Chains A and B, each alone.
Chain A
Amino acid sequence: DAKTTQPTSMDCAEGRAANLPCNHSTISGNEYVYWYRQIHSQGPQYIIHGLKNNETNEMASLIITEDRKSSTLILPHATLRDTAVYYCIVRLPMDSSYKLIFGSGTRLLVRP
């Protein structure tokens, strides 16, 4: 199963774009990239996922490099409520049980 590497922490100014990187250099062809976040004292929240194409939804955009070895989650206009730990997860193969493996994530601090 592919592992992910994320910076321990980042910060950005309110209203600016937050770009959170993730390296997954051992990802295999059928593995998706998922992003979740966890606001303090709450359960994790699904944000977005993708395979090879860039994806966008109401929360964020996901940019996956052509070789799929890294990706970036973009919060286009960060707010104070976006302060959270962001987890980049690479999906296990389909013959495994339905589980997400959470790493340490990136702690994003949005400054006023």
Chain B
Amino acid sequence: ETGVTQTPRHLVMGMTNKKSLKCEQHLGHNAMYWYKQSAKKPLELMFVYNFKEQTENNSVPSRFSPECPNSSHLFLHLHTLQPEDSALYLCASSQNDRDPYEQYFGPGTRLTVT
């Protein structure tokens, strides 16, 4: 238990669906992250939020839309996804006024796009 929770753990959606992934951290951190992990590929950073402000968008397609209403919650809104978007989506957080590289990861959402 890392203090970072993600829901749902598994999601199957069609290409025309709209769904959202949720992440919540109970660590009092101020920075939150979305990563994508495709099969047999390294983790890819998608978005970074610091004090609710987006500080990094790693050239992610607009069909992925993040939202950070407060420092404890992070969402990833999904619409018109492609089958190649099927992957493990991981959320992480860190205490930005200390070492930001000690990140705590959630268990991930396994997404399948049909």
A97-B48, A99-B48 known; A104+B42 contact, CB < 8 A: yes
Q: Which of A43, A89, A99, A105 contacts B107 (CB 8 A)?
A: A43
**Is B103 close to A, CB under 8 A?**
yes
- Which of A21-29, A44-52, A67-75 lies at the binding interface? A44-52
A43-B92, A97-B48, A97-B55 known; A32+B101 contact, CB < 8 A: yes
Chain B residues with CB below 8 A from A104, complex form: 42
6 contacts between A and B (CB under 8 A): A49-B101, A98-B33, A98-B94, A98-B96, A98-B101, A104-B42
CB pair A45–B105 under 8 Å, yes or no, is yes
**Is A15 close to B, CB under 8 A?**
no
A98-B31, A99-B48 known; A49+B105 contact, CB < 8 A: no
**Secondary structure dominating the interface of B:** strand
Within 8 A of A (CB), among B81-114: 88, 90-92, 94, 96, 99-108, 110
CB pair A98–B108 under 8 Å, yes or no, is no
Chain A residues with CB below 8 A from B48, complex form: 97-99
